Every structure is written in structure tokens, then in C-alpha cells.
Structure 1
């Protein structure tokens, strides 16, 4: 039994600024699924691996659990509405969202700062979440600045003055 208060832990973790992603996939029936996630990280450059995690109680969890592919869409600074849409439960979160089709018809969110098309290579239990490990098979990075998130709020990303030294 943990002595860590989950509300305090969430507040402490909020000090870590992250990017904002929407992870997308398609199930065996061709239905599209997407979820906002800031639990995304690079793992390895060789081989090219990334990870993200999802709550096992998420309505879209069975689709991500059972699929062999996913796309990590790294949202651009002006895509707050997209992030909010995919952070909520809903039947078709893609209504009104411009997408392109990637490998195996997976949805890529148009206008994202970047995207990575991945083949799922492993899943790991992580408490009330599952960690998905993906091998990057295709990617794109545009010139648009990314959306950031900290302390429950969206942020813009600016270069630090000392980074120029």
C-alpha cells in the first residue's frame, strides 16, 4: 500500500513541462480512435523506439491494446481545441478534424508540428496504465512550434536566452 497521496503526486508531476500529443489508431473494423497523451517519450535512436502510456479504463484502450500500429501526433501551438477534443470521451472525436491517412490508413492530424508512425513492438503493465512501445517506421517534422503543457495549463514554447550561449 502506497503512502503517496495521488492528488499531491499529480500536483508534483505538474511541475514537469511536456509536449502534447494525440495518439491515433484504427481497429480491425476500420474505426478510428484517438486520445490526448502527454505521457510520450523517446526511448532509443537505434533502433528508433518511442513510448506512451494509457489508462486501462479508457474507452479506447481495447483498440490500442489490440492494434499493431499507432501514430504519435505532436500537436502544434494552435491545436488546443484538438487536444481538448481527444482528451474527452466521445463517439467520433474525428468529426471536424482535418486528417490525412498514413500507413495502413491510420489517421494523421493535419497541421501537427510532427508525427511518428509506429509499429507496436511491446506493451508493459504500469499500475493503472499500460505502456506501449513503438518502433518508428515513418515520421515528419514541420516548422510549426509545438504545444506545451504544465500545471494543468497549455503553454507556448520559447527558447531560453542562455541557450544561445
Structure 2
């Protein structure tokens, strides 16, 4: 296979529907990023999350620039990444929708850094905002890890081809 020359790559347009279809073949876990805004919990569902560095301990995630929740979390400066278990599909859907009180009926306590820790999460990662980088229609958030907690041995909630899934076996 010959490498594509830069001029050729720039002249080709990628169909957005095809882009989503192909990248939808990549299975990912599901997280909820949470913080407190004037004492009230805020958060959003996020499947674009990754470990970035061990030294220093960094993670990354990618909120849409249209997100009304990310600016509130950014202002808090610290937040919690909740790794969802396979029984938390409804929580993911609820926190993935726009709305005033997305936390209605959702159990949570404060994590070590004071952010909402969702009841039933597999694990949580306390973080502080480290940096932000432009990422097209998303923001690339780089966060410094300040605390780690394992909560359960439950199976993870997975996202694949625009749907939630579960592991067939562990």
C-alpha cells in the first residue's frame, strides 16, 4: 500500500456518516464526569475517555464544544471520573441528556476531592484540570489524577456501534 501524499489527503473529504460508522466499530467504556457547581452536582456521560500518562498521572476526555456542562466543571477545576458498571445504562442515559436536574433520583456521595461519586460505579478517578487543547468540534481535556478508588468487581458498561453492551463473560 502506498502512503497517501499530504496534498492528496487534504483534498479528500471524509463523509461524516461514514466517519461515525467506521469509528463506531471501536468499543469503549463509559464514564460520567462530575463536579459541584455552587454546591449542586453537575455531570455528563462521556465515552471518549483515556489514560494518557503514568508519570505524571494524566487522563484525557473530550467534551463537545456545545456542552453546557463542561464549562461548569471547568470552573470547578476539580472533578471525578466515574467508570460505569454494566447495570448503569439508565444513569448514563439520564446524564447524557440535556436538562436542568440530571441528578434527580441518582445516588451519589462526595469523593475525596469533593466531587460527586456515583453510587454503583466500578471505580472513580479524582482529577484536577491540567490543560485544554482545541480538538475541532470537541475540546481535548487533560486532567491530573489526584486520587483513585475501586468500588466493585462488576462488569463494565460498554459502548459499541451507537449502543450499550456488556461483556459476554469475564
TM above 0.5, one fold? yes
Is 2:148 aligned against 1:150? no
Instruction: Call closer, same or farther: CA 1:154–1:26 in 2, change over 3 Å.
Output: same
Count of aligned pairs between the two proteins: 159
Which of 44, 57, 62 does residue 48 from structure 1 map onto? 57
Which of 67, 74, 77 does residue 86 from structure 2 map onto? 77
Corresponding position of 1:31: 40
Structure 1 stretches of at least 4 aligned residues deviating more than 4 Å after TM superposition: none
Matched-pair contact (CA < 8 Å) for 2:74–2:129:
no
Is 2:23 aligned against 1:13? yes
The structural deviation recorded for 1:60 is 1.1
The structural deviation recorded for 1:104 is 4.0
For residues 84 and 28 of structure 2, the distance between their equivalents in structure 1, rounded to whole angstroms, comes to 11
Residue by residue, what CA displacement relative to the aligned partner does 1:11-62 show, whole Å, maximum 9, x if unpaired?
11100000011111123x2232110110000001121110001011112132
* Higher alpha-carbon Rg: 2
Matched-pair contact (CA < 8 Å) for 2:79–2:113:
no
For residues 11 and 73 of structure 1, the distance between their equivalents in structure 2, rounded to whole angstroms, comes to 27
The structural deviation recorded for 1:131 is 1.1
CA RMSD in angstroms comes to 1.6
Q: Residue 127 of structure 2: SS of its match in structure 1?
A: strand
For residues 31 and 5 of structure 1, the distance between their equivalents in structure 2, rounded to whole angstroms, comes to 40
The structural deviation recorded for 1:132 is 1.0
Which of 16, 22, 35 does residue 32 from structure 2 map onto? 22
Corresponding position of 2:3: none
The structural deviation recorded for 1:115 is 0.8
